[in-house]
């Protein structure tokens, strides 16, 4: 699978045209633990970063990220709250590749060229692909494959863009306590920088 992803990225880069783009993206949001993952916690802040190559309406993005339950924890008050504060939290890191297709909702038409649009615009898209998950803290020792997908709304300028993704990751993790099957529905807000 790594070779297929590398070949696909090289093909996209090698056949660049005026309608291509290259960018770095970063996002933050929240995710919930569902299925057997819910035994370990209710959810966590989600952080993700990636590098993408766009050719026309199609994009391939390699990304990494994590669900970090303790990210906003500052202090505890009282014995019960401090005991919960000190207990290991269910952290989950991930890496993967997404393929995205997007459709133009709104854009400026290039002056004097009907049907040719400027790069800035508003788009809707669908993205999805394989993932690999690694547990840490309360999920230490768990890892395994998964798949995910999302629907998005994007706003692009020439070198900067923003997006909102509503999606879900589904996984099967093997670990010291057996197999965990679960999902993490999420909502993230992100920004892109590059040639969009």
Contact 87, 124 (CB under 8 A): no
For residue 12, the model assigns a pLDDT of 46
pLDDT of residue 56: 86
Report how far residue 177's alpha carbon sits from residue 115's, in angstroms, rounded to the nearest whole number.
58
| Domain map (residue ranges) of the chain | 2-13+20-195
Query: Do residues 64 and 94 touch, judged by C-beta distance below 8 A?
Result: yes
- Cβ atoms of 95 and 1 closer than 8 Å: no
- The confidence score (pLDDT) of residue 69 equals 86
- Would you give per-residue pLDDT tens digits along the chain (196 residues)? 555 455 444 444 444 445 688 999 999 999 999 999 999 888 899 999 999 999 988 999 999 999 998 655 556 667 776 666 666 688 999 999 999 999 989 877 655 566 556 668 899 999 999 999 999 988 999 999 999 999 999 998 878 999 999 999 999 999 998 999 999 999 999 999 998 7
Query: Could you tell me which of 121, 118, 131 has the C-alpha nearest to residue 50?
Result: 131
pLDDT at 20: 82
Token duo for residue 35: 């299925």
What's this model's pTM, rounded to 2 decimal places?
Answer: 0.80
> CATH number of the domain at 2-13+20-195, please?
2.40.160.20
CA 91, CA 143: separation in Å to the nearest integer?
11
pLDDT of residue 120: 81
């Amino acid at each position: 699978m790594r070779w297929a992803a590398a070949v696909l990225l090289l093909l996209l880069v090698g056949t660049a045209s005026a309608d291509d783009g290259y960018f770095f993206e970063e996002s933050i949001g929240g995710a919930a633990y569902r299925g057997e993952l819910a035994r370990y916690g209710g959810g966590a802040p989600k952080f993700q970063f990636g590098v993408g190559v766009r050719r026309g309406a199609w994009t391939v993005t390699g990304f990494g990220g994590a669900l970090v339950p303790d990210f906003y924890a500052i202090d505890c008050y009282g014995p019960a709250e401090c005991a919960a504060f000190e207990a290991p939290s269910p952290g989950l890191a991930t890496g993967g590749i997404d393929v995205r297709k997007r459709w133009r909702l709104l854009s400026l038409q290039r002056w004097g060229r009907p049907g040719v649009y400027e790069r800035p615009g508003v788009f809707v898209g669908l993205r999805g692909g394989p993932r690999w998950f690694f547990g840490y803290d309360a999920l230490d020792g768990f890892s395994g494959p998964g798949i995910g997908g999302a629907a998005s709304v994007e706003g692009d300028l020439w070198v900067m863009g923003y997006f909102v993704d509503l999606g879900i990751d589904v996984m099967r993790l093997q670990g010291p306590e057996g197999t965990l099957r679960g999902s993490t529905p999420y909502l993230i807000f992100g920004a892109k920088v590059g040639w969009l």
